Amino acid sequence: MDEAIQTNWVSTVGANIDAVEMEIAAFTGNRYAVALSSGTAALHLATKLAAEKLYGQARTNRGTLAGRKVFASDMTFDASVNPIAYEDGEAVFIDTEYDTWNMSPEALEKAFELFPEVRLVVIAHLYGTPAKMRELKDICDRHGALIVEDAAESLGAKYKLNGQWVETGALGQYNCISFNGNKIITGSTGGMFLTDIKEDAEKVRKWSTQSREAAPWYQHEEIGYNYRMSNITAGIVRGQIPYLEKHIEQKRAIYNRYKEGLKGLPVKMNPFDEENSIPNHWLSCMLIDEGAMAPCARGERDYLYQSDKGKSSPDEVLDALAAFNSEGRPVWKPMHMQPIYRTSPFVTAEGNGRGRTNAYIAGGAADVGADIFRRGLCLPSDSKITEAQQEKVIEIIHRCFL
């Protein structure tokens, strides 16, 4: 970063940008990388590019997904799926599975039965745990659908595909990572688009710098964006890359200490496929067993819970931690439950996830995402947390279940 300032490359060109593109492309196993201002920018351009491949260039004042549906992970940050709306498309949210807390292959299969015309799927790896990519890719291949991979949270996490370890961020046609301040390595902000296709990388680079045509003046034939990473940001990312493995080791140690420390309580850690995946353990989470849930309820912005002997609830645990100045979080509230997406389609392993209960028939409807949101929480996971602080967190959680 200092070098960028000393050499006066304080711009969206420079040696740091070239270096981070080369290093991250090589690390993830992609041929091409385009450094951008955020993971959200990367997801927007990846989604737009996939849409343009599928449906052609849109008119200037229309999104490339106008009138189209896109399947998307449901339990994720809204930045994964908002680009579908930026491009005038409609997200169809695919329910989550319990094994990795990611997109359910069964629900995706059902979604293709309900909406066979869909050709684009946005898949996120939640909290650094790889999704079931072999199953998801097989389904997408069978239906001729492209994958935009949201690896914003999972840089450094690996998945075994056809017997070979592949980095997350190299599992879709277009792949995105984030260098936001809270990620496993950071540029304070920043993101990256990754692909093996040269002309697609060149297109994204062009779009990210206002879509200039080859003319002496600013000439435009398509809509452009100011989405390029700055050479200053790239300097911070470049300085962080050598620490990626160390950060993952720290996060893994945090996860394992929680796993050990919470043994004996009616809770489970966020799970992963031990045979076919190596998470980066970006966030450690826990899920309270159904039988150990104290009465609790959440509104749109507020919550209530009761204390109950031997039981607890995510908000009780979070409040107890907050009282000791320790920050946990609820897990991502699923997109299909969000007010802005309340009218969007939602598909579970049983089929259409909307309107599934019946006033005249007993029983509820499966909704794995809503269940994990109700029973789960993110534990304090900063790599700087000390063992003593973590012991304290573990003790507080134990006391919640007394």
Ligand X SMILES: Cc1ncc(COP(=O)(O)O)c(C=O)c1O
Residues within the interface to ligand X (CB under 6 A): 38-40, 43, 76-77, 79-80, 124, 150, 152-153, 178, 180, 191
Our CB check for ligand X shows the closer of 36 and 397 to be 36
Bridge pairing between strands 346-348 and 285-288: unpaired
The nearest distance, CB 178 to ligand X, in angstroms, is 3
The nearest distance, CB 103 to ligand X, in angstroms, is 12
Burial of 200 by CB count in 10 Å (0-12 exposed, 13-18 middle, 19+ buried)?
buried
Strand partners, 348: 351
Strand partners, 36: 191, 228
Which residues touch 271 (CB under 8 Å, ≥6 apart)?
Answer: 98, 99, 100, 101, 129
The nearest distance, CB 307 to ligand X, in angstroms, is 32
Residues 136/171, Cβ–Cβ less than 8 Å? no
Q: Which residue is nearest to ligand X (CB)?
A: 39
Our CB check for ligand X shows the closer of 103 and 262 to be 103
Our CB check for ligand X shows the closer of 77 and 207 to be 77
322, two tokens = 């907050």
Our CB check for ligand X shows the closer of 283 and 397 to be 283
Our CB check for ligand X shows the closer of 28 and 180 to be 180
Our CB check for ligand X shows the closer of 45 and 108 to be 45
Residues 170/29, Cβ–Cβ less than 8 Å? yes
The nearest distance, CB 283 to ligand X, in angstroms, is 10
Give the residue ranges of DSSP H helices in 91-144.
105-114, 133-142
Alpha-carbon distances, residue 54 vs 43, 44, 60, 89, 200 (angstroms): 16, 15, 17, 13, 13
The nearest distance, CB 130 to ligand X, in angstroms, is 13
- Separation of CA 163 from chain center: 24
The nearest distance, CB 298 to ligand X, in angstroms, is 21
